[in-house]
Amino acid sequence: MITELISAIYLLDLLNTSVDEKAAGLLFLLPSFFLIFSKKDISPNLIKISGIVLIIARLITPLFATLGKIITAGLGVGAFMIFFPSYLLYSSSLTKKPNGLSFGISLAIGTGLSILFRTLNSTLDISMYSWYQLIGIILALISSVLLLSFDKIQHYEQKDETLEEKELKNEKIVDKNTNGKFRRGFKILGLVFGIINIFLLIYFAFESPTVISRWTQGNYLSIVIILTMMISIYVLIAQFRPEWFNLLRTWMIGLWNFLFSISLVLTIFAHIIKFPETPSSPAIVVGAPYWFQQIPLYLMLLLSPIIFINFMLFTRELIKVQPSKRQISRGFTLGGLYIIIMAFIIIFTNIWGYVGAVSLIFRNLFWLPFLLIGIGMFISALFIKKTSIQFKKFKGATKENVSAAIFIGLILIGTIVGRFGA
């Protein structure tokens, strides 16, 4: 939905070579603001209603022209910015010991599906066009059934007295003083911003490997295969060997984020060209990259599972802290504002000649938003406690495990076969 919203605004404003009132469509990212002042607790009904609005918006968006998509996709984005923090808050009220695995697996499979749909249709999401919209309808029906019954399904572990719960009790004791409340509020804000940065990273690059291929003139097939394989490996480990995550330490998570962010920025830096200084300057000839310029690209792809590990741990830690409605709503409101700023920054790197003096600052700085995202994820990872990197040992395959494994396997095979057939 955010892809459809921002691309619609971008296309229409690019035709006018200026930013006009259509850019106000980005305000759809800020409805979490209204949750701050709501006196009622989050109810399952709010989650269901916002989720249904999101699903309906997704179904009808392909039916509209570019201007209409600003409204329908905007409603979808706005519904998500109410649904997701509400769902996290509701989850925190049910358990003090969140699993977290389901969040990481869900995001990984969702990203894998996005890659598959775009590969099958040569970079455009096939489920948004022609009779292939039946794919979206099927997914919408499945989502609706799960959504309407989510509060009746219990996926939470038994609440035994563990080190994690003892730590939570200690945190609550500390929170009785003002300084403790400030630290807890700052931690919640940091974790929310980590989640927002993950969403941005997937939107800017990883939902469609074509973007990465165009940055680098890299081999699209190899990029798709490696990225989808890394997603598949993460899902299989999370399903069948979650205890392997226990080998990670907080410093390892920080180092992994640092290396991934550096390789991401270097991937862009290695392919930056110097723009002509004046209209009369000689034309720039862009040749094929040298082999060593591709090293950061493939390093980044191999390190990409940290995206889903981050999401797993950030959501787990956030639910464990049990934020208040005001705290999590404030975080997602500021997160929505952050998305708007980042969207303008990355757009200004492309249309700096159209929007005047402000956009000139961002000329040829395409790497900047990715650097900010990397810094944001690294800082958020500092809020992860070692007790949040503790997962129970796999006790045997279930229908859910096997189904997820088959599903991610089909995504991997479909993506590879789809690319050969494209």
CB contact burial 335-367 (16+ within 10 A = b; e otherwise): bbbbbbebbbbbbbbebbeebeeebeebeebbb
pLDDT at position 158, please? Answer: 38
pLDDT at position 14, please? Answer: 64
| Closest of 36, 127, 17 to residue 335, by C-alpha | 36
Q: How many CA atoms lie within 13 A of 358 on its CB side?
A: 9
Residue ranges in the chain whose pLDDT is less than 50: 154-166, 169, 171, 173-174
Question: Within 10 A of 315 (CB to CB), how many other CB atoms are there?
Answer: 28
pLDDT at position 422, please? Answer: 55
pLDDT at position 156, please? Answer: 43
Q: CATH for 2-152+162-272+289-421?
A: 1.20.1250
pLDDT at position 162, please? Answer: 47
- For the chain, domain boundaries: 2-152+162-272+289-421
pLDDT at position 154, please? Answer: 47
Whether 60 and 72 have beta carbons less than 8 Å apart is answered as yes
pLDDT at position 311, please? Answer: 96
State CA 107 to chain mean position distance.
7
CA 76-85-6 angle, 5° bins: 35
- Secondary structure percentages of the chain, helix, strand, coil, to 5: 75, 0, 25
Whether 205 and 212 have beta carbons less than 8 Å apart is answered as yes
pLDDT at position 159, please? Answer: 43
What pTM does this model have? 0.89
Q: How far apart are CA 197 and CA 335, in angstroms?
A: 9
pLDDT tens digit sequence for 267-298: 998 888 777 777 777 777 777 778 788 899 99
Token pair for residue 225?
């295969």
pLDDT at position 143, please? Answer: 93
